[in-house]
Amino acid sequence: MFEPASSIIVGLEVGTSKVCAVVGDFGADGVLKIVGLGQAPSRGVRKGEIVDQELAEEDIRQAIAEAEQMADVEIRSVYLGVTGRHVRGFNNRGLHPIFSAEHEICEEDVQDVIKNAKSINLPTQNHVIHAIRQHFLVDDQDGISEPVGMLGSRLEVDVHVVHGNLNRLQNAIRTVKGLQLEVDDIVFNGLASALALLTTEQKELGSLVVDIGSGTTEYVVCSNGIIKHTGVLAVGGDHVSNDLACGLKTTLRRAERFKLEHGSAMVDDSIKGQTISIPNENGLAPKIINLEHLRRIMSLRLEEIFVLIGQDLDQTGALAYLRGGAFLCGGSARTPDVARLAEQVLQMPVSAGKTNTISGLKSALDQPEFATAIGLVKFGSFHHRRRAVKPSLAGNLKATLRQLPWLSRFL
Amino acid sequence: MTMQTSSTPATLSERKTVAIKVIGVGGAGLAVLARLIRSGLAGGGFAAVNTDAASLAASEAPEKLQLETRLLRGLGSGGDPDRGRTLAEENFPRLKSLCEGMDVIFIIAGLGGGAGTGISPVLARAAKETGALVIGFVMTPFDCEGPRRQRLALQGLTEFKAAADGLICLPNQKVFKLIDENTTALETFKITNEYLADGVRSFWRLLTCTGLIDIHLDDLCELLRDRHAESAFAVAEAVGPTRSREVAEKLLAHPMLDGGAMLAEADALMINILGGPDLTMAEVNRVMEQMNRHCEHAQVVMGAAIDEAFRDRLAVTVIATHKNLEPVAAPGSPRAGHEAPAQFVRQTIGARPAPGFGPPPPATSGSPATRSLAPETAASHQRRKPARLLQTQLPLESASKGRFDKSEPNIHEGEDLDLPTYVRRGVALN
């Protein structure tokens, strides 16, 4: 029997500046559509991780309630986005010899080789969030996407493993569970953003997604349709505001406003010597600030973010795969000229990402800061379809499916 | 203690023709001078300057200059630097003629008293006017000598610093690390004198011995200028095939360098390696490698010299200086008694521009917060390099982290990303 809630998928992102819940619905025609959106300013999160459970709970409740009202559904379970400095990604290879008489690779062999690739030497406090299958190799023949039925004596698989600190991940899950919500799965925010932004073509071509949130910046490299590289920097829009507050000697709230009203990622010569006078507000003295300084501070911070990403990609060799360019999302992607700055630093075409892989609410899809939550819905939809079509089929997502009961044993 | 000072007279076979004169000023200066004369540094002149006739009479220096008026009745300056200064100003031409024809003048003085504190800055100025390079070696009083002497010494230091090209300051208090409970007061003073003499000697060798790797005199002065606040020097010597390793070990364990901690803190280092003709480059390299590892941030000036007498021996002198966090000479600094001398210096030495040299200070010399708060000129701001943290656990004060003050530190390749980028990059905003 169909449960009323089973056709909806909810993505919940507990971000540093806002909590965002997006509701996707398969509807009668089976096409996923975004039907609801709820958001609330976030107070209990720093650098992408919950530091105050009570405040975070309140904010999540508010966002969920808003989304429920808008989509007119009851939300029972969510796909939860996770991030933070502790989240890391790396590539690993698993090996499995084929012993069957004719050296024909069967489904079990594929299962085994993936299992081998996942059994990595990680510290016990670390937990694998994703183990994403990249390519199979059969007797050193690279680039095989479906080895079942092929002949070979040795099967290998490359996986991209995203892992994080178990306790910190559980903190986020616990907070959500405290609201009587089930967590279907946890998803790395960067992966969700990439899912939301990139079309199949872009994934094939090789693209970089940079999600500059408030507290963290996630970046993901997709190439040949697979995830090549992921990373997190615990630096984001909050740092820009904080730098401004420090440099302009003002409060954080005011700095935030300056950033939104007068900010830009580039310093043009034309603004040299220009000043902005700030009227008196709440007993704070009127003030004149130099526009050039404001933009210089912002520009330096944003530039640094791209430089750090560029360095990391360069080191891992992921830079070579990027023919499709880079796509920006997250709140800071709204900063004027940020794409131009990124273009300069990364030396590749950069544009603001559009969530065009999913249909529905136009107002939600156009906003760069909702990309992660929408991506969570998208991730959930894969999950959902697999469950609906072949509940017993084991694919690469089964790995993540299985984590949940395993995780909940610790809860 | 394993340290051993090199008091062997340097028999210099090939010497660069640098005319050097060592001038001792005041009681302490004469005492150190006496040691130097006794150990016989060849190839230079010695002179003694004092206000009190008795000590001058006892001195073995070939040139003596007594600054005297009837006012003092031959009893010295009585611990009053003003008297010393007035006397020196009166006898300015005589001081000048004392320094005539020299390339380098070393002035040795003990600060805090009357003669040394008052006369040496004026002497430095006189020497400067003759066109010589002036390097000062001064001692500041023991803490137990009382706050008045400390204050006078600081005042004298400020004046001296403005007049001399380079200044090495040894706080006597540091010598306590070298002595034990039973050392008599007399011996203690002897040790401090010997210590300063060692410093002079190493400089002497630096300038006179055949340089394998020359330290340019200008480099030296740049290094010393403006950071006289406190210097520590250590001399270590070793003999035998493993001498380079031994020397490095001795230096790192040296009490004056706080077991190497001083090296890490220092923002400028002078390392002088003196060996015999058999000194190998590998040995120089080994010593420097050890030293450099401990002072990543310091500006290091190194030299290696050859002395015939040092066959099979290796002597390494390290002079480590680091700046005081608050500029000692800053006019209007809150410490009492500072303003007057600073003004005095500016008036009397108007011709001399304030020392403009300022290499990028290392991260340890001041936390970014202190820096950004201190009033600075744009020029000095631009020279700053981004602060690099040595370790994540260092309790470095960083008030500008603002919102991220209490959060998990965000260290990426030694940089704390939570600190504003413009602060780390040292971008000037004004």
Q: B402–A242: do the CB atoms touch at under 8 Å?
A: yes
pLDDT in tens, A296-306: 999 999 999 99
- Tell me the pLDDT tens digit for each residue of A277-300: 877 666 667 778 889 889 999 999
Nearest to B116 by CA among B15, B211, B29, B1: B29
- Looking at residue A12, its pLDDT comes to 95
pLDDT, residue B159, reads 81
Whether A85 sits inside 8 A of B410 (CB atoms) is yes
How does the average pLDDT of chain B come out, rounded?
69
Give the model's confidence band at A7: pLDDT under 50 very low, under 70 low, under 90 confident, else very high. Answer: confident
Strands (E), A26-82: 33-41, 45-46, 49-50, 77-82
Looking only at the bridges linking them, the beta strands covering A154-165 and A88-97 are antiparallel
User: Using CB atoms, which residue from A243, A252, A303 is nearest to B420?
Assistant: A243
Return d(Cα B4, Cα B235) in angstroms, integer.
Answer: 8
Chain A residues whose CB is inside 8 A of the B404 CB are 46-47, 238-239, 242
Residue B363, pLDDT score: 39
Which tens digits make up the pLDDT trace of B258-272? 666 777 777 777 788
Contacts of A16 in chain B (CB under 8 A): none
Angstroms from A212 CA to nearest CA on chain B: 15
Whether A229 has a pLDDT exceeding 80, the answer reads yes
Contact B410/A at CB under 8 A:
yes
- Residue B304 CA neighbour count, 13 Å, CB half: 18
Q: What is the pLDDT of residue A360?
A: 81
> Residue A387: which pLDDT band, with cuts at 50, 70 and 90?
low
**Set of chain B residues whose Cβ sits within 8 Å of the Cβ of A308:** 412
Interacting residues of A315 by C-beta distance below 8 A, sequence separation 6+: none
Measured between beta carbons, the chain A residues lying within 8 angstroms of B408 are 47, 85, 234
Q: Chain A to chain B, count of Cβ pairs less than 8 Å apart?
A: 63
**Among A243, A300, A308, beta carbon nearest to B412:** A308
Nearest CA in chain A to B410: A234
- What pLDDT, in 10s, does the model give residues A302-357? 999 999 999 999 998 888 888 889 999 999 999 999 999 999 999 999 999 888 77
* Amino acid B348: pLDDT: 35
User: Chain A contact for B139, CB < 8 A?
Assistant: no
Is A109 in contact with A102 (CB distance < 8 Å)? no
Q: pLDDT tens across B124-163, in order?
A: 888 888 878 888 888 888 777 777 888 888 888 888 877 7
- Note which residues in 377-406 of chain B have CB less than 8 A from chain A: 400-404
Looking at residue A81, what is its pLDDT?
95
- Predicted pLDDT at B224: 66
Locate tokens 């000037």: which residue? Answer: B428
Q: What is the pLDDT of residues A79-130, one digit of tens each?
A: 999 999 999 898 888 889 988 878 888 888 888 898 888 877 778 888 889 8
Of A52-66, A103-117, B9-23, B203-217, the least confident: B9-23
Category of B413 on φ-ψ map: left (φ > 0), alpha (ψ -120 to 50) or beta = left
* Strand, coil or helix: B340: helix
User: What does the pLDDT average to over A143-148?
Assistant: 87
Nearest by CB: B420 against A234, A252, A297: A297
Pairing between β-strand A126-138 and β-strand A154-165 as defined by DSSP bridges: antiparallel
**More confidently predicted of B115 and A180:** A180
> What's the mean pLDDT when you consider all of chain A?
86
Which range has the worst mean pLDDT, A85-94, A398-407, B369-378?
A: B369-378
What pLDDT score was predicted for residue A3? Answer: 47
pLDDT per residue over B308-365, tens digit each? 777 788 888 887 776 654 343 333 333 333 333 333 333 333 333 333 333 333 434 3
What's the CA gap between A344 and B234, in Å, rounded?
51
Residue B70 has pLDDT above 70, yes or no: no
CB B17 within 8 A of CB B53: no
Confidence of residue A241 (pLDDT cuts 50, 70, 90): very high
| Residues A247-254, mean pLDDT to the nearest whole number | 86
Give yes or no for a contact between A181 and A75, defined as CB atoms under 8 angstroms apart: yes
Lowest mean pLDDT among A130-134, A152-156, B86-90, B322-326: B322-326
A187-199: average pLDDT:
93
